[in-house]
Structure 1
Amino acid sequence: MENSEFDYVIVGAGSAGCVMANRLSASGKFTVLLLESGGSDARFWVKVPLGYGINVSNPAVNWGYFTAPDPGLAWRSISWPRGRIIGGSSSINAMAYVRGQAGDFDDWAAAGATGWHWDNVRAVYDRMETHCEITPTGQTTRGNGPVWVSDLSDQMSPFSKNFLKAAAEVGYNIIPDMNARDGDGISYYRSTVRGGLRWSSADAFLRPAQRRPNLSTLRNAEVAHLTSLNGTVTGVSFLHGDKRKNVKARREVILCAGAVNSPKILQLSGFGPAQLLRQHGIPVVRDLPHVGQGLQDHLAVSYQFHAKEPTLNNTLGRTIGKLFAGARYLLTRKGPLAVPVNQVGGFIRSKADHETPDVQLYCNPVSYSLSETGQTIVDQTAGYQLSAQPCRPTSRGAIEIASANPLEAPRITPNSLSTPEDKDTALAASQILQKLARTKSLSTVTKAAKAPDLLALDDAGLLEDFRNRASTVYHPTCTCRMGRDDQDSVLDARLRVHGVSGLRVVDASAFPNVTSGNTNAPTMMLAMRAADLILEDAG
């Protein structure tokens, strides 16, 4: 980085930051600097789709956050992996591509995020995506966007058909694609995979832009705080190696550091709840009470079973199987290693009279355990897993700095299951898993349940087990949410921080409410539309 002044400085090369870097540099009119705290994504297990189980516990690519003890989850402290690498969490996630339900975005607009209703965001999705689909006559593509969304059903485990049969037996719709307008039902998951490799936001957006002379990217840059003058953000102060550096932004600083780190950086810079800032000796530039507040995340509970038919365990749980799968992948980019862990799932209603689906399912043809360090250990004998996630929790938590030291992790307080509605939906999600497990389609291929036995639990036991074992699905959002004014939110509908010039936040922290499903797709969509707004404002 030779220059110390750019038109735009983007903090974070994750799902949103890579989009912003591409779009703001595309015209050649503006100089852009992209700062990333992590290193290169050129790692074998980052690129291999089934490497998810390794990445999620690898401290070299992961911030390694843990929550504060959560009373709603039996006072457990939960691991919260967040990507610290080029591509951010899109380089370590499970690659499920889920737009979310139409009502999610209409709710955004109703919360004050004017213009973010479904019809508008659907158009952004449409121009962002290229779909690789399996048809009776072979593989075909639809669309010409940079984000590759692949149907990998032809490579999935034959056992996964049992999940579809069980869902139909319960009465759920079997649909071709959960991202369709009426995506109420169960299908094979679509994944951000291209040619047998993970297709992260860095692959889709950053890589094509890197040769542009007006785009600079700096890795291993730890942002300490934003610089400001008279309420206007003027640049960024960061650590690079053992040196403190400063860079100026002629137009804007754009925070794309994620739902944990964007509020952390704002608070360290004097933008946040005045009482919190003063507690840590940070001068208050602007009192913004909602910075770090409103945190929402998805929780899921999982149950595993020993199977009578072969599953991925028969390959991945045995040395000889791993060798054959590895050789096949290296030669063809196909096979078990080329398919992400989530194979079947979708959105369903826990009760028929619900206006919209309120539970998301994940059904995976593999069983495993986790080591003390969080590494995945695949069982040697056949097994499978059923998981359920309440879609739209109403509980809200907070992200708050623990000190004025930028190298210290913030305090993450999820406040899980703190409302009656969330407890009810958690129970309903577990009851749905019981219904699936009891179907003829699954019971006939099940040898026994792994502990705890899902079918032996009554309602009280289900809720207690949810508290004792449910964990994050890695979807933190809403900590710098869009809204009407600084009394209910952090950002306006154009992602500008209320009452502050030269600063926007563009990442999942800007969501007014968490979307129903996986958050990588809506985060990239949000950044695509945010770039439109920024370029429009720049004339």
Structure 2
Amino acid sequence: MARTRLLFGLLVVSHCLASPHSYSLLQDRDDAHDVYDYVVVGGGTAGLTVADRLSESGRYTVLAVEYGILEPDGRRGRTNMYNITSVPQVNLNNRTFPVDVGCIVGGSSAVNAQAFQRGTKRDYNNWAELSGVNNSSWNWDDLQPYFRKAIQLGSGPHPDIARFYNMTYNPGSYGTNTSKHSIFATFSRGHSPAVIPLYQSLREYPGVNIPIDHSVGAVGLAWTPRSMDPISLNRSYSRTGHYDGLDRDNYHLITATRVERVVFKGKTADGVEISPRWPAEDHEGKGKGKGRNKGKGNGKRIIKARKEVILSAGAIHTPQILQLSGVGPAPLLKKAKIPVIVDLPGVGANLQDHAYQPALQFNWTSPPPHPEVNTTLPPAETFVFGPGLNLMMGLPGISPARYQSLAASYLAQSPDQFFPPGTHPTIIAGYAQQQRLYAAGMLDKDFAFSATGMGGIPVAAPQLMHGLSRGTVTLNLTSPLSEPIVDYRFASNPLDLEIVAENIKFFRRFYTGPDSTLKQYVNLTLGEIQPGPGYKSDEELKEWLRANLVPSVFHPSGTAAKMPREWGGVVGEGLEVYGVKRLSVVDTSIFPTIVGSTTSMTVYAAAEKAADLIKERA
């Protein structure tokens, strides 16, 4: 029997069966109450954060519903990931790609690579401009208190490591609450001396800025922390920070449970309809000791919400649930034979992600010499992850000769030029606003278009941080409850490939150009390994990218954007869904534009802010 994997659920703590986690979990979904104050759909990065904050006063009852199960963190093939594949990407030689998001209590924060960054000042100030209001509280300055509330500094770099690697950081960017119920940003104690000559060469390279770290909202060469507990050195994520050990009678979590739709009374969200993830006959076999909820039957059930339903199912499943609930583009819903509650064209539009190319590689003659690094750390701690060196670049630094002409070319495009025929006018209007801001960002050295984790060998795999194309997430019309149709539409705007080609040319110059201090160590006779000497011109590089580039680093965003409704927005300043009552969205879906960094830290901050907004209107 085919498994349909709809959505992210949530968490809860109750007073039922004891578990090995020092708190208890609702072991039987039928033990969930009929009514809660808040029902949170999705037990991931945002969902667990919101559920924790709404339940912490004890005034409100909260149910979190999670499609995944409670199990150890860490990525293990498909066992704790959704099994979704994109449609063929016509501009990438019709290749398909995995759409990887976490299917586990903790969501993608339980399975990501733990890189912990925030975007630039311009990223969040763009959010405020895209609010369409003069007094938006979603700008850089207003969000910083929520970053400090959300993320605590576990520890800075070890003094020995900091001295050898010139590590600097800004303690004021983080909070100082070191309780176990925190999300920690911790600088790695690991090191690789071979990265030192690379760091020194980048420091001296034209156009490379050196901020104290990336938390201050600037791009450049800096050391970044990881989402890591400072004592155990284990992953710090939404489950450890916002679920484990809370033990609140007013906070329940059910797992292995699908939310099929939001239930409306008129245009007011009244609750959610849930069903088991697995058929009834599988409950015992799949549920033993792994936090998988059993039920007394295989039927559906409605759980009501007195105050709000909060969708935190992620940028892939939140729009799917909205569409299944009758909130979305009316033509799509009618084709799926779903009664239209609200015609909201932006639901599932505006999909964005970061893209990456396979590593640019060169042959060494001999590796550049590096100093010995002696530390007082115990041997077991000296190689925990790498040192976390990241280079983020604006377009002026990547392409000093072409950035102005690229910005002018982008600004000259008609906003509807690269959208499919029939795209709703509100979506075009919203993209026109994004186009205006991105064209200005192309001229800004502190608006990231490239990000690269740096190692100690001649390898660089830059990511495109602000792509110009927009994709979609829509219902599968032949089977609406199965996984949605995901189309990144990457390179539908051809300037995406132009910019990535400029990234490649930047690193070619860095390793082998006239300003390179590493050129003496590169074997110019054997040449470049990848892409290789056969790819020199822009057209040749774009040909290689069409065959090799990957349009996702698993940071899907934007599919229920916080923008005005007339710009294709889905939620307003308070994250409430337009056209209905008592329904809000809190996850990467709300990002009007993707941030130029990994997304998890921003999700935590946004969820902290969202919890305050929700409590204010309680």
State the TM-score, normalized to the length of structure 2.
0.74
User: 414-423 or 212-221: which moved more?
Assistant: 414-423
C-alpha separation between the residues in 1 aligned to 2:607 and 2:519? 41
C-alpha separation between the residues in 2 aligned to 1:9 and 1:520? 22
**Equivalence for 2:303:** 247
1:450 positional shift:
3.8
* Contact 2:271/2:304 (8 A) holds in 1: yes
Secondary structure in 2 aligned to 1:422? helix
- 2:547 is aligned, of 446, 451, 468, to 468
AA at the equivalent of 1:188: W
1:204 positional shift:
1.8
- 1:222 is aligned, of 252, 258, 274, to 258
* Contact 1:437/1:443 (8 A) holds in 2: no
- 1:334 is aligned, of 381, 386, 390, to 381
Secondary structure in 2 aligned to 1:293? coil
Q: Could you say what the CA RMSD is over the residues aligned between the two structures, in angstroms?
A: 2.7
Correspondences of 1:113-262 after superposition (within 5 Å): 114-131=136-153, 132-134=155-157, 136=159, 143-145=175-177, 146-152=182-188, 154-171=189-206, 172-181=208-217, 183-194=218-229, 195-209=232-246, 211-240=247-276, 241=278, 242=280, 243=298, 244-262=300-318
- 2:472 is aligned, of 398, 401, 411, to 398
**Equivalence for 2:59:** 29
C-alpha separation between the residues in 2 aligned to 1:341 and 1:70? 35
The reply on whether 1:344 has 2:390 as its aligned counterpart is yes
User: 484-493 or 29-38: which moved more?
Assistant: 484-493
* Contact 2:86/2:97 (8 A) holds in 1: yes
User: 131-140 or 66-75: which moved more?
Assistant: 131-140
AA at the equivalent of 2:617: D
Residue-by-residue CA offset, 1:462-515 (whole Å, 9 max, x unaligned): 222222211111111110001122552111111000011110010000011111
* Contact 2:68/2:104 (8 A) holds in 1: yes
The reply on whether 1:360 has 2:437 as its aligned counterpart is no
Identity among equivalent positions (%) equals 27
Structure with max Cα Rg: 2
AA at the equivalent of 2:34: S
AA at the equivalent of 1:136: P
1:451 positional shift:
4.0
The reply on whether 1:417 has 2:491 as its aligned counterpart is yes
* Contact 2:101/2:107 (8 A) holds in 1: yes
1:35 positional shift:
0.8
1:18 positional shift:
1.2
C-alpha separation between the residues in 1 aligned to 2:195 and 2:481? 44
C-alpha separation between the residues in 1 aligned to 2:275 and 2:528? 51
* Contact 1:301/1:430 (8 A) holds in 2: no
AA at the equivalent of 1:346: M
The reply on whether 1:103 has 2:142 as its aligned counterpart is no
**Equivalence for 1:457:** 536
The reply on whether 1:71 has 2:90 as its aligned counterpart is yes
* Contact 2:219/2:448 (8 A) holds in 1: no
Distance 1:406 1:248, change over 3 A: farther
**Equivalence for 1:276:** 332
Unpaired segments ≥5 residues, structure 1: 47-54, 312-328, 367-382
Distance 1:223 1:340, change over 3 A: farther
Unpaired segments ≥5 residues, structure 2: 1-30, 163-168, 281-297, 370-376, 405-442
* Contact 2:214/2:220 (8 A) holds in 1: yes
* Contact 1:290/1:486 (8 A) holds in 2: no
* Contact 1:73/1:468 (8 A) holds in 2: yes
* Contact 2:557/2:591 (8 A) holds in 1: yes
Secondary structure in 1 aligned to 2:143? helix
1:520 positional shift:
1.0
Residue-by-residue CA offset, 1:102-161 (whole Å, 9 max, x unaligned): 111111111116210111011211222222212637899763242211111x41222222
Correspondences of 1:316-335 after superposition (within 5 Å): 334-335=381-382
Secondary structure in 1 aligned to 2:263? strand
The reply on whether 1:39 has 2:119 as its aligned counterpart is no
1:395 positional shift:
1.2
1:208 positional shift:
4.8
Secondary structure in 2 aligned to 1:179? helix
**Equivalence for 2:575:** 495
C-alpha separation between the residues in 1 aligned to 2:325 and 2:112? 29
1:274 positional shift:
0.8
C-alpha separation between the residues in 2 aligned to 1:31 and 1:65? 33
Residue-by-residue CA offset, 1:264-302 (whole Å, 9 max, x unaligned): 011111111111011111111111111101111111113
User: 294-303 or 270-279: which moved more?
Assistant: 294-303
C-alpha separation between the residues in 1 aligned to 2:379 and 2:274? 43
1:443 positional shift:
5.9
C-alpha separation between the residues in 1 aligned to 2:555 and 2:570? 19
**Equivalence for 1:444:** 521
Distance 1:334 1:40, change over 3 A: farther
C-alpha separation between the residues in 2 aligned to 1:394 and 1:208? 43
Corresponding pairs, count = 489
C-alpha separation between the residues in 2 aligned to 1:14 and 1:341? 27
* Contact 1:260/1:476 (8 A) holds in 2: yes
1:431 positional shift:
1.6
- 1:408 is aligned, of 471, 476, 482, to 482
Secondary structure in 1 aligned to 2:499? helix
AA at the equivalent of 2:385: V
Secondary structure in 2 aligned to 1:122? helix
Distance 1:233 1:249, change over 3 A: same
Distance 1:394 1:451, change over 3 A: closer
C-alpha separation between the residues in 2 aligned to 1:179 and 1:2? 41
Secondary structure in 2 aligned to 1:29? coil
* Contact 2:45/2:604 (8 A) holds in 1: yes
- 1:431 is aligned, of 505, 522, 538, to 505
- 2:459 is aligned, of 382, 385, 388, to 385
Secondary structure in 1 aligned to 2:595? coil
1:224 positional shift:
1.2
